[in-house]
Amino acid sequence: MGWNDHVVYYETKCLKCGAVDDWEYWDEVGQQRYVGRIGEMLGQDATKHGKCPHCGSTEGEVVEDDC
C-alpha cells in the first residue's frame, strides 16, 4: 500500500482567492502515517489535506461536473 492509496484529488474552488485547482484530501490513516519525518523522507505532505494549493485557505467548495 503506497501513499497514493490514502489521498484523493477533487477539483475545488477556493472561497478566499477564487482559484480552481485540484486539492488533496487525505484519509485519516494517511494523515497520521505521512505527517512529520516519514512524510518528509518520502516527499509527501499530509498537512496539505483540504487546503488551497495557492493561498493555503481551508475554505473551498468542490466543483461539481454539469455533465
Q: For a pLDDT cut of 90, what percent of the chain falls above it?
A: 57
Average pLDDT, stretch 33-62? Answer: 91
What is the three-state SS of 24-65? EEECHHHHHHCCCHHHHHHCCCHHHCCCCCCCCCCCEEECCC
pLDDT reported for residue 3: 61
- The alpha carbon of residue 21 and the mean position of all alpha carbons in its chain are separated, in whole angstroms, by 10
Return the pLDDT at 24.
Answer: 94
> 46, 52, 45, 10: which is closest to 26 by C-alpha?
46
Percent of the chain with pLDDT over 70: 93
pTM above 0.75, yes or no: yes
